[in-house]
């Protein structure tokens, strides 16, 4: 009863006219940030952080939080319509979402993304309220060895993302790992792989990489087919899902929600990894895995639910321990500090109005996002009627604006173009860009935790086996990699036997 009373107090705070306005502004900006390729919640929150100085602390945090989870909603729109991820967590949505659009099912793809996002956001909120203490205890048991083993598991799951060749998928992941090492070494502070370029000291930015691989490369591929056509030649189709769509997507949404909630709590997990792992899991569990990459609705429902659940559960360590699990919530932590709000366990006791007000506002914000996004689906699908000869310069413009707005460096535009050309070429040879992005994201975290674990164990690799949680992840990684490679090896043997 005490919990219900505190939550009721939170809704009183969240439903006040001022906080309702701040919540609406946050989710609206978040949706726009998600729709516009390349900008992302980090850039938006960084630009708006000074504007919150004149806002009461509760309203400021509610607005900034709305930008964060609102961007997860909006990020699927351009992924589905023009195969450009509006936000990094929507990279996987490009694979099947855009294929559905080309088949005349853009409305269904956008609808299931919105419904999955709302369901996941609601469940994540309930989990934040009820399961936070238990999940925090589990998260505190993770050290460098456990995080390293978790990253290894994520990298092994890349094998399941491959639509054709496991080896090609692993090669792309390896390239992503190497690219993630560019910049200053986090242990000894020495530059590496920078080729004496000052612009590379901070590493290669994720935004130009993603915009190049999924935006510019898509333009090049479409230009090969000529510009005298629309983006999608078939009809848009109805928005409401068929009974088959509901059956195929319902359990994907549930599984994606559960997976995203757990991974969102862990530092290094987050929405990006959750969406990749959810896609891999759905493809593995499917009785018809060959449909993935060709317009499988589960490939949209699962990852979209996962990234939104991860966005919600990421608030657990931030609000209760004062530990931001990702860069976006690190900005939110900075906003709390600027407003002199106590962070960590004391927030609940010293500022219960802010804590429970923000929690309640997340549900209010999810309802606002559903109301905002569902009516706009018809507007978004109208984009498909724009001739590609007109649309592709606009896409390129949005990519350039997004990349430049993130860093303010012309060099990143060159990086985007380079990855665009590279993504276009490797796609012609049957390689996929998604494993490269996952390897690029996981690479630095994997390396840092690996080196920390070895330093703490004085160079003993047995630390990964002696610790139960890391041993479990290592064993799971070995099993996954073996099950992915054995069928490929057997197929090669049969080909050699036939040729012989």
Q: What share of the chain is helix, strand, coil (3-state, %, to 5)?
A: 75, 0, 20
User: Does the global pTM surpass 0.75?
Assistant: no
pLDDT given at position 21: 92
Nearest CA to 399 among 374, 416, 375?
416
Torsion of CA 416, 88, 443, 320, to 10 degrees: 140
Q: What is the pLDDT along the chain (500 residues), one digit of tens a residue?
A: 566 777 788 888 888 888 899 999 888 888 877 776 655 676 667 667 767 777 888 888 888 888 888 877 777 777 787 777 766 677 788 888 888 888 878 778 888 888 888 888 888 888 877 776 665 566 567 788 888 887 787 777 665 555 557 778 788 888 988 898 898 887 788 888 888 888 888 888 877 887 788 778 877 877 776 555 444 544 555 667 777 778 888 888 999 999 888 888 765 556 777 888 888 888 888 888 888 888 888 888 888 888 888 888 888 777 776 666 666 776 777 778 778 887 766 777 778 788 888 888 888 888 888 887 777 766 666 655 666 677 778 778 877 877 887 677 889 899 989 999 998 898 888 787 777 877 887 788 788 888 989 998 888 888 888 888 889 888 988 887 787 777 767 766 777 766 65
- Residues linked to residue 192 through DSSP beta bridges, in sequence order: 183
pLDDT given at position 118: 85
SS3 387: strand
Q: What's the burial of 125, exposed, middle or buried (CB within 10 Å: 0-12/13-18/19+)?
A: buried
What sign for the dihedral angle of Cα 401, 406, 409, 410? Answer: negative
Residue that has been written with the tokens 């020495």 in this structure = 190
What DSSP string describes 178-233? HHHT-EE-TTT--EES-TT-GGGTT---HHHHHHIIIIIHHHHHHHHT-SSSBS--
What tokens were used for 210? 């993603």
What tokens were used for 225? 């087919």
């Amino acid at each position: 009863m005490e919990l219900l009373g505190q939550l009721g107090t939170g809704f009183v705070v969240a439903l006040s006219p001022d906080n309702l306005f701040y919540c609406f502004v946050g989710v609206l900006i978040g949706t726009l940030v998600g729709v516009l390729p390349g900008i992302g919640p980090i850039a938006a929150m960084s630009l708006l952080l000074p504007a919150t100085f004149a806002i009461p602390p509760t309203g400021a945090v509610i607005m900034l939080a709305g930008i964060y989870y609102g961007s997860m909603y909006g990020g699927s729109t351009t992924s589905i319509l023009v195969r450009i991820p509006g936000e990094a967590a929507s990279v996987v949505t490009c694979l099947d979402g855009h294929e559905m659009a080309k088949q005349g099912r853009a409305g269904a793809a956008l609808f299931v993304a919105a419904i999955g996002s709302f369901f996941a956001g609601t469940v994540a909120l309930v989990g934040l309220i009820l399961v936070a203490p238990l999940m925090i205890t589990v998260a505190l048991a993770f050290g460098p060895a456990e995080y390293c083993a978790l990253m290894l598991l994520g990298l092994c799951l890349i094998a399941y993302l491959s639509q054709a060749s496991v080896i090609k998928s692993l090669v792309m992941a390896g390239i992503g790992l190497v690219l993630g090492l560019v910049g200053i070494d986090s242990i000894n502070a020495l530059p590496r792989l920078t080729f004496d370029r000052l612009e590379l000291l901070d590493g290669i930015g994720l935004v130009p990489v993603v915009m190049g691989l999924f935006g510019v490369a898509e333009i090049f591929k479409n230009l090969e087919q000529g510009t005298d056509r629309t983006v999608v030649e078939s009809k848009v189709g109805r928005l409401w899902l068929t009974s088959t769509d509901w059956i195929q997507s319902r359990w994907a949404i549930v599984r994606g929600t559960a997976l995203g909630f757990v991974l969102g709590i862990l530092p290094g997990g987050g929405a990006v990894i959750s969406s990749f792992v959810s896609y891999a899991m759905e493809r593995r569990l499917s009785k018809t895995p060959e449909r993935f990459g060709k317009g499988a609705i589960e490939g949209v429902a699962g990852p979209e639910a996962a990234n939104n659940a991860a966005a919600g559960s990421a608030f657990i360590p931030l609000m209760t321990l004062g530990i931001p699990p990702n860069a976006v919530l690190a900005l939110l932590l900075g906003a709390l500090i600027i407003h002199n709000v106590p962070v960590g366990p004391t927030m609940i006791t010293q500022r219960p109005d802010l804590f429970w007000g923000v929690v309640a506002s997340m549900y209010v914000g999810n309802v606002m996002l559903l109301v905002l996004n569902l009516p706009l689906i018809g507007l978004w699908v109208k984009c498909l009627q724009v001739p590609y000869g007109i649309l592709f310069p606009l896409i390129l413009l949005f990519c350039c604006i997004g990349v430049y707005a993130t860093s303010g460096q012309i060099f990143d535009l060159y990086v985007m173009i380079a990855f665009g050309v590279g993504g276009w070429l490797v796609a012609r040879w049957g390689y996929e860009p998604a494993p490269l992005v996952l390897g690029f994201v996981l690479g630095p975290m994997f390396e840092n935790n690996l080196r920390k674990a070895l330093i703490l164990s004085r160079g003993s690799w047995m630390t990964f086996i002696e610790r139960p949680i890391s041993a479990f992840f290592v064993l799971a990684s070995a099993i996954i990699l073996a099950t992915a490679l054995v069928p490929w090896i057997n197929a090669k043997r049969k080909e050699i036997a036939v040729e012989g």
